[in-house]
Structure 1
Amino acid sequence: MRWSKPLSALALATMLAGCESIFGSGDEEPITRLPRALTQSEQELIVASNRFGFNLLREVSARDTSSNIFLSPLSASMALGMTMNGASGETFSAMRSTLGFGTMEPAAINAAYRSLIDLLLGLDRNVDMRLANSIWVDQQFPLHPAFVESSLQHFDARVTALDFGNPASVKTINAWVDQGTNGKIKTILEQIDPEIVMYLINAVYFKGSWTQEFDPARTSPAPFHRADGSQHPVQMMFMRDAEVRSVMNDQVQMVDLAYGRGAFSMTLVLPPNAQPLRQWAAGVTDEKWQGWIAQLHDGKLDVSLPRFRLEYDEVLNNTLKAMGMATAFDDVAADFSGMSPRGADLFIAEVKQKTFIEVNEKGTEAAAATSVGTGVTSAPPTFRADRPFLAAIRERHSGTILFVGLIGDPRSP
């Protein structure tokens, strides 16, 4: 058997809502379009990331029976995108296909990641949106200068060599994660496995106040009807005659709640006819999602949404293998020769995502980190989320999905 070293990929995502507003006065002009047109590569990247996100949600949901699933497809895509930048041959092709990029060339993918990062970060000064990437490598393990340069240029990644045999390295990496998620995710590592030689990590943080806040005086106890027929008491927030974008028909009930000046929003979806959330969500594709988004229209709506907080973490190895990326996890077949002179001996050992979300009357704060470790008039209609629902945080004008999840049992803070 050949000598091999594993890589590790970790993903952390945190969404927090209900914090005190730290942004502008709210009287600035709403953002009704992007500051520039998206390039063809950016459009393809966003479609790929969203498609990957719904496929990821479907596969995780099929494997995890937890009441709640909350993921950051953007964070996972970026961490794996950095890793793919060092992949070659069949490993690259499998990763590119799984991430939804089709036949896009590496240069176009990298350029699209770079420009999308810049676009999202500078879009709305009333929303705190952060993206950070890092690569942590054992100081004894060599990297190709071209891989390091590409990581810096296209992902703005911090590349750091550490002594992986020193326990202080764990503290160093965790401190970066803690800072990158604004303290919402304290740790991603408990220890460094002796076989691991590299971690590739993405962190996403989001904090936004609702454009129209819920009135805390209207929040009251209400039952939440879980999938098994039981009920769980929640603190139900309420807005009357909210001016929101929505679509309410026999196919879907969807409402779009804006943050800040309106570039970002939380999109909430209830399955039609009280269908079981998991069963319904298994059929949600990016194409269906875009069709529903296209139907959103302005109007007044009574909106009820639980105030909740939850944490989620999941190792995504088996999910990604099932999605077509098995080669990258194979200690014999994997080829990361674009990453290191010893890249033919590298394989992905673990891809992990951790998430946190808290939602209340003020707004939403979210953070995500993904690490790839290589080892080697009349009464208005009502939207009432008192049963399992899908929640997504997205940039409205580009369509980029930052977070998406299935909420089956919200716990009130």
Structure 2
Amino acid sequence: MKNLFLSLSILFLLAASCNPMQNTDIGPMEANVRQMSASETEMVQSNAEFAIRFFQEMEKENLDNYFTGPFSIHQALSMAMNGNEGNVLQEFLDVLAFYGLSEEEANQAVQSLTEYLMNVDSKVKVNIANGIWYREGLQVKASFKDAMNTYYNANVSALDFGQPNAHQIINNWIASQTNDLIKDILDGIPGDAVMYLVNAIYFKGDWKYQFDPKNTKKEAFYPENGGSVEVDMMDSSVKIKMHIGGNGKVNYYEIPYSTGQYQMAVIQPKNGNLNDIVSEITPENLNQWSKNSFESEVVLKMPKFKIKHKINNLKEQLIAMGLVQAFTPNQGNFTKIFEGDLPPLMISRVIHEALIEVDEKGTEAAAATVVEIVMTSMPAGPTRITLDKPFYFLIKEKNSGAILFMGKLGNPGLL
């Protein structure tokens, strides 16, 4: 897997504001690109492999549309990883695809990659934030607090979980970190909960070439099940520069934001059947399609759309990916978090919510992941491209290759 994803960028859909579509770039801008360290490269590869495996689990749900933030899930579980040792730690390392990294190396890579992603493009707003709350009265080990603060910039705070609105403190924090896109993800705090590890991520970026709203018209989109639905179809009307690639089965397009460091990658089957290309979406192929893509001038048409998707518990998906012991009563779970002798701990829920809105200006997206840990016993002309058939999509950063968001637009008429 080494050097697999240096040229594949981040899965990330998000938006912003300003001028109509132009035939030239939107002004001189330079990205803060730097050479990726060896540990960062390993981290990007781990993130990419985790994202693709999670995508494969999501496809088993047979949903028409969905949107997720695998980068957020990966980072929340990486924090939870630090509470474990032995066989349980190894499960986390395997599921998170940290094959070539020790726990400390993984933490250091998370820290530096997060900083890189938040600063690589000053014209794109990226916020990645972590927070941890634990039941008041328990004592968290200093080593765990130090690791969370140092590597994840996460404040570990005591909270009276017995307060009727204690969960709203966590919800309000998530809303503040996602520009109010993710609200009320947590419905309450059960009596056996002892800790919440939370990641929130937000992205807002202008297209490099923005669409003129005057050109947006109602046009047909053709779902796989036949017929058509009317959508607001954006139209560049003039030629723009984007990268095109793929293979005999797949059309692959990279639509740039801002300086071009962040991109929306669209993966569309040539025969219109998404099921036929699920096996084609691998880290190796994504890297190859991006690396071998070529810049072309096209007139682009694509739908405006908004997807909001919440998964109340990722337990089944994560167990299927190999994270088993952490979801079962096990005295070996989370032994590095709390002081004293406690009943066995386990993850009861991994809640995930993501939202994306794509319009003429750009893309705005956010995701949040909440890991809930409980005690098992305790008191209570030019080439024209029209995206009018189902497609998968992702947003990526060209230099690092980290995967943050991914989704599927199968039937915008159901949004």
TM-score w.r.t. length of structure 1: 0.90
Instruction: Give, in angstroms, the shift of residue 253 of structure 1.
Output: 1.0
Aligned-residue offset at 1:249: 4.9
Asked whether the equivalents of residues 128 and 199 of structure 2 are also in contact (C-alpha less than 8 Å), the reply is yes
Deviates more, 1:277-286 or 1:168-177: 277-286
Question: Does 2:201 match 1:204?
Answer: yes
Mapped contact 1:308–1:411 kept (Cα < 8 A): no
CA contact (8 A) 2:15 2:203 kept: no
Query: What is residue 299 of structure 2 aligned with on the other side?
Result: 302
CA RMSD for the aligned pairs? Answer: 2.0
3-state DSSP of counterpart to 1:368: strand
Structure-1 residue corresponding to 2:22: none
**C-alpha separation in 1, matches of 2:384 and 2:49:** 30
| One-letter amino acid of the structure 2 residue matched with residue 351 of structure 1 | V
1:251-266 matches, within 5 Å, as 251-266=249-264
Alignment partner, residue 412 of structure 2: 410
Equivalent in the alignment of 2:6? none
Q: Deviations over 1:246-275 (max 9, x none)?
A: 12653321111111122111111111222x
> What does residue 5 of structure 1 align with?
none
The Cα of 1:87 is off from its aligned counterpart by 1.2
Amino acid at match of 1:392: L
| Aligned amino acid, residue 367 of structure 1 | A
Cα distance in 2 for partners of 1:343, 1:383 equals 60
Contact 2:42/2:100 (<8 A) preserved: no
Question: Which residue does 1:328 correspond to in 2?
Answer: 326
Distance 1:273 1:184 in 2: 35
Q: Give the drift of 1:282.
A: 4.2
Runs of 4+ deviating beyond 4 Å: 13-16, 18-21
TM-superposition CA deviations, 1:297-319 (whole Å, max 9, x none): 11112221110112101121100
Contact 1:264 1:395 in 2 (8 A): yes
Deviation by residue 1:358-405 (Cα, 9 ceiling, x = unmatched): 1111001111111111113xx333332111101101111111121111
Structure 2: which 5+ residue stretches go unaligned?
1-10, 20-24, 376-380
Which residues of 2 match residues 215-254 of structure 1 at below 5 A? 215-239=212-236, 240-247=238-245, 249-254=247-252
In structure 1, the residue matched to 2:141 is 144
Find the counterpart in structure 2 of residue 319 from structure 1.
317
> 1:45-100: CA deviations, max 9, x gaps?
000101100100111211x2321121111101100000001111111111110111
Matched with 2:338 is 340
Which residue of structure 1 lines up, in the alignment, with residue 394 of structure 2?
392
Note if 1:27 corresponds to 2:24. Answer: no
Q: Which moved more, 1:121-130 or 1:245-254?
A: 245-254
Q: Secondary structure at the match of 1:324?
A: coil
Distance (whole Å) between structure 2 residues aligned to residue 412 and residue 127 of structure 1: 30
In structure 1, distance between residues paired with 2:179 and 2:309: 17
Kindly indicate whether the alpha-carbon contact (under 8 Å) linking 1:54 and 1:284 is maintained by their aligned counterparts in 2: yes
**Among residues 32, 42, 45, which one is paired with 2:43 in the alignment?**
45
Give, in angstroms, the shift of residue 140 of structure 1.
2.0
1:380 aligns with 382
Partner of 2:358: 359
Aligned length: 392
Name 2:3's counterpart in structure 1. Answer: none
Q: Closer, same or farther in 2 for the Cα pair 1:174/1:15, shift >3 Å?
A: farther
Q: After the TM superposition, which of the residue ranges 147-156 and 394-403 deviates more from structure 2? A: 394-403
Three-state SS of the structure 2 residue aligned to 1:273 is coil
Q: In the TM superposition, what is the alpha-carbon distance from 1:410 to its structure 2 partner? A: 1.9
1:406 is displaced (CA, Å) by: 1.4
Q: CA 1:14–1:135 in 2, change beyond 3 Å: closer, same or farther?
A: farther
The answer on whether the counterparts of 2:12 and 2:406 sit within 8 Å (CA) in structure 1 is: no
TM-fit CA distance, 1:344: 6.9
Out of 147, 159, 162, which is 1:162 matched to?
A: 159
State the identity as a percent: 31
Instruction: Name which of structure 1's ranges 250-259 and 38-47 shifts more when overlaid on structure 2.
Output: 250-259
Q: Name the CA shift for 1:19/1:346 in 2 (closer, same or farther; >3 Å).
A: farther
Aligned 8 A contact 2:16 2:205 in 1: no
Question: Aligned pair in 2 of structure 1 residues 293, 258: CA closer, same or farther (>3 Å)?
Answer: same
TM-score normalised to structure 2 length: 0.90
The verdict on how the C-alpha distance between 1:343 and 1:410 changes in structure 2, with shifts beyond 3 A counting, is farther
1:89-128 CA-to-partner distances (Å, cap 9, x unmatched) read 1111111101111142011000000101111111111111
Q: Is the 8 A contact 1:329 1:348 kept in 2?
A: yes
How far 1:196 moved relative to its partner?
Answer: 1.0
Instruction: Please report how far the alpha carbon of residue 26 of structure 1 lies from its aligned counterpart in structure 2 after TM superposition.
Output: 3.8
SS in 2 for 1:293: helix
Structure 1 residue identity aligned to 2:29: E
Q: 1:271 aligns with which of 265, 269, 272?
A: 269
Q: Distance in 2 between matches of 1:337 and 1:248?
A: 46
CA distance in 1, matches of 2:180, 2:302: 26
**3-state DSSP class of the match of 2:191?**
coil
Q: Deviations over 1:165-184 (max 9, x none)?
A: 00231121111011011110
